Chain A
Amino acid sequence: MIFSFEIPLLLLLLVTAAGAILVKDLMSAVLLLGSYSFFLSLVWAWLGAVDVAFVEAVVGAGLGTVLFLLTLFGTAPKDTRLRRPPPSLATLIVFPLLGVLLLYAADDLPEFGNPKSPASVHISPTYIEQSYQDTRTPNVVTAVLMDYRSLDTMGETVVIFTAGIACALLLRRNS
């Protein structure tokens, strides 16, 4: 399943992200961002994270793109072609430095897909082995999300509710 076609998929991801950044027309940039989201959900399905892939395809690529498009339709179409300011000296120094620093840290990370990496041997085997006895749910992600961590999930819904109220208040016509 893993590690047979990783490079083409990651290249597709990078190309669509670069398109969303470099294209001057905002409408095209938003549509490329939607395709980036779909390729991302494909990558996640390939990494074994099917639940995350579903959510990204529905919420990220679907709802996110719709929200961006609604904003673009609500604002003037003449405003969508962008001018690109020249980068300042500070950004030209800071960003390559940050990149070199981040890439230099790569040596300390566990290898991609190593079953003995710290994240995979600490607490997660307990969840995988115990969750069926505890919750009678074969899907471990659902068991953790809705059973062990259901209070956190309620906090998440509170955040979404607050975001919805904030949007409604901001977009009121007669304020």
Chain B
Amino acid sequence: MVDAFFAVFQRPNYLTFVVIFLWGFYIMVTRYNLVKKLIGMYLVQTSVIYFLVSISAKKGATVPVLLSTTEPVQAASYANPLPHVLTLTAIVVGVATTGVGLALCAAIYRKYGSLDEQKILERMEEIEALTNKKFLKD
């Protein structure tokens, strides 16, 4: 248990990842406002990407662009490029899906007049009651 405690402080990248990931997830679960939920989702996405990129870092290595194209390449002197490639795709797709979520928020606001989850639920029940009443009358 003590070892685990010190292991965390030897890995500040992992500690940062865990804090941002859990806090963003907590915001997604507990807050009523839909845009705030999307902010939490964005934090979760970026924290996972940050964790992947921090795995690719090597002590004493430089960016994965070859310094010389004629001499033989030493793999240990360049950062691991594969997590970079994966996370490039993940960032762009993440922002695209966040955009869809925000468009959904705008559509919901246009229909129900609020972004608050509780108010939207109340409004939905009102609309349902109204349509039921109309249905019974006919």
Interface residues of A (CB under 8 A from B): 1-3, 6-7, 10, 13-14, 17-18, 20-21, 26, 29-30, 33, 36-37, 40, 43-44, 47-52, 55-56, 59-60, 63-64, 67-68, 70-72, 74-76, 79, 82-85, 87-88, 91, 95, 98-99, 102-104, 106-107, 109-115, 117, 119-120, 123-125, 127-129, 132, 138-141, 144-145, 149, 152-153, 156, 159-160, 163-164, 166-167, 170-171
- Which residues of the partner chain B approach A103 to less than 8 Å between Cβ atoms? 4, 8, 15, 18
What are 20 residue pairs bridging A and B, where the CB atoms are less than 8 Å apart in the complex? A21-B23, A21-B27, A21-B40, A29-B39, A52-B91, A55-B88, A64-B95, A107-B4, A111-B11, A112-B10, A112-B11, A115-B58, A115-B60, A117-B55, A124-B75, A138-B66, A159-B96, A170-B100, A170-B103, A170-B104
- Which residues of the partner chain A approach B93 to less than 8 Å between Cβ atoms? 156, 159-160
The answer to whether residues A163 and B69 also contact, given A17-B20, A107-B3, A119-B55 and a CB cut-off of 8 A, is no
B 83-123 contacts with A by CB, 8 A: 83-85, 87-89, 91-100, 102-107, 109, 113-116
- Which residues of the partner chain B approach A113 to less than 8 Å between Cβ atoms? 57-59
- Which residues of the partner chain B approach A99 to less than 8 Å between Cβ atoms? 18, 22
- Which residues of the partner chain A approach B26 to less than 8 Å between Cβ atoms? 91, 95
> Cβ of B129 < 8 Å from any Cβ of A?
no
Size range of the interface on B?
A: 35 or more
Interface residues of B (CB under 8 A from A): 3-4, 7-8, 10-16, 18-27, 29-33, 35-36, 38-40, 42-43, 46, 49-50, 53-66, 69, 72-73, 75-76, 78-85, 87-89, 91-100, 102-107, 109, 113-116
Minimal beta-carbon separation of A5 from chain B (angstroms): 12
In the complex, are the beta carbons of A17 and B23 less than 8 A apart? Answer: yes
In the complex, are the beta carbons of B100 and A141 less than 8 A apart? Answer: no
Q: In the bound complex, how far is the Cα of B36 from the Cα of A59, in angstroms?
A: 20
- Pick the 8 closest A-B CB pairs, nearest first: A125-B75, A48-B79, A163-B96, A107-B7, A140-B81, A170-B103, A113-B59, A138-B66
Q: CB-nearest residue of chain B relative to A172?
A: B107
In the complex, are the beta carbons of A33 and B78 less than 8 A apart? Answer: no
- Which residues of the partner chain A approach B30 to less than 8 Å between Cβ atoms? 85, 87-88, 91
In the complex, are the beta carbons of A49 and B66 less than 8 A apart? Answer: no
Chain A residues touching B, majority SS: helix
In the complex, are the beta carbons of A141 and B84 less than 8 A apart? Answer: yes
The answer to whether residues A49 and B59 also contact, given A72-B35, A171-B107 and a CB cut-off of 8 A, is no
The answer to whether residues A79 and B115 also contact, given A85-B31, A107-B7, A117-B55 and a CB cut-off of 8 A, is yes
